Chain A
Amino acid sequence: MFFPISNTHINPIYLVVVGFVIGIFGGFFGVGGSFIAGPALRLMGVDWNYAVGTDLAHIVGKSIVAAKQHRALGNVDLKLGFFMAFGTIAGAECGAQLIQALKRAGNVNTVVSYVAILVYSGIAAFMLWESRKTLRSGRGPSQSGLVKGAESKKDRSAFSPVTRNIQRLKIWPMITLPTSGIRISLWTILLVAFVGGVFSGFLGGGAGYIRMPSMVYVLGIPTHLAVGTDLFEIVISASYGTITHAIKGNVDVLIALVMHTGAVIGAQIGVVATQYFAGPKIRLAFVPLPLIGAAIVIYTLVTGHKL
């Protein structure tokens, strides 16, 4: 099938299968899946700028489906999602500016690659340690229960004592999130979203690999809610990214539409699968994802080929 906007020939079945796989990851882990979609599009000869922009457009569609399904299961905190979207968009702009500054300095590829390897490996190692510790203890401290009348789903984490100390920081304005079952400073929420946004602008993609763990460990959101809320937040921030990239001529919406037909089914499977796993098990299963991202960056560094 010929896609005139990006001037490429790609088998639509390939796109549907890629979309399907990313859909499962997205629905289950609450990530955009750019670490798969970008390289998968590059393999088919799509220019890098189109791969990035088109991936964002496809993420919007997939996240709408997955967030809608998660909302039906009570896994989306809309209030938190809206606040986080502001921080993410601001952070993404800063990350993009950082890239421009590094471009001018002439060492963008090296710096971004090393930062990416460090961050991805760090997240994977930390989540492996925490989820295994929680699963082994079998009765880690509960994350929820700080707010009266909370509707939150209970979750356990070995990192809970640190999370509670973060929640106790009384910096005005304090926000109550009944769905997540916490009361926390707005600045903490914005900071977490902003950092996620910086990584999104700096390393590309939706940065769900940073935001989902941050929501669990820093904000103290139960894992199921972090997955659903992250997807809802991605809808807003990825829509913004899609529009800016489309204006710059980096989006082939036809490719995104075809990929999305597979992602719809995949996302639904991923969402349903979350019902059968406890929070620590989802976090443990999440560990290989950032490692895949790190492996792709190492491959690029060693071989010089950009996937």
Chain B
Amino acid sequence: MKKQAAKSLRAFAIELAVYSVLVVIYFFLVLHLLGDWLYRLETHHRYVYAGVAILLIAGQAVVLDTVTTLLFRFLRGRSR
């Protein structure tokens, strides 16, 4: 039981590390590129901005959830 918990914890720690690297890349690439465009959209086209905002947050939720699930599955599979 303890061995299983230790394995899960290790897999989670690795997942967290890999995920952190991905998130840092995400900050510098995607948000940096989107920042100005979203700012202009928010200033001049509020309705479009509202639609884009909800799509972005929902899209990110689905993508990140898939990434973390796959990462966890992959790491758990390797630690067995």
Q: Which residues does A use to contact B, with CB under 8 Å?
A: 1, 3-5, 12, 16, 57-58, 60-62, 64-65, 68-69, 239, 242-243, 246-247, 249, 251, 253-254, 256-258, 260-261, 264-265, 268
Task: Tell me whether A253 and B38 are in contact (CB under 8 A).
Answer: yes
**C-alpha gap A69/B68 in the complex (Å):** 12
Chain A residues closer than 8 Å to B35, beta-carbon distance: 3-4, 254
Closest Cβ–Cβ distance, residue B12 to chain A (whole Å) = 8
Task: Tell me whether B54 and A246 are in contact (CB under 8 A).
Answer: yes
Residue of A3, A4, A5, A256 touching B57 (CB-CB under 8 A)? A256
Closest Cβ–Cβ distance, residue A60 to chain B (whole Å) = 5
Task: Tell me whether A61 and B47 are in contact (CB under 8 A).
Answer: no
Closest Cβ–Cβ distance, residue A271 to chain B (whole Å) = 11
Task: Tell me whether A264 and B36 are in contact (CB under 8 A).
Answer: no
Chain A interface mostly: helix
Number of A-B residue pairs, CB cutoff 8 Å, is: 89
Chain B residues closer than 8 Å to A57, beta-carbon distance: 53-54, 57
30 contacts between A and B (CB under 8 A): A1-B27, A4-B39, A12-B27, A57-B53, A57-B54, A60-B57, A60-B61, A62-B61, A64-B58, A65-B61, A68-B65, A69-B65, A242-B54, A246-B50, A247-B47, A249-B46, A251-B53, A254-B35, A254-B38, A256-B53, A256-B57, A257-B57, A260-B57, A260-B64, A261-B60, A264-B61, A264-B64, A265-B16, A268-B65, A268-B68
Name the 6 nearest CB pairs between A and B, nearest first. A246-B50, A64-B61, A253-B53, A61-B61, A4-B39, A61-B57
Chain A residues closer than 8 Å to B19, beta-carbon distance: 265
- Chain B: number of interface residues, binned into ranges: 20 to 34
**C-alpha gap A264/B50 in the complex (Å):** 22
Task: Tell me whether A253 and B23 are in contact (CB under 8 A).
Answer: no
**C-alpha gap A209/B60 in the complex (Å):** 26
Chain A residues closer than 8 Å to B60, beta-carbon distance: 61, 257, 260-261
**C-alpha gap A16/B31 in the complex (Å):** 14
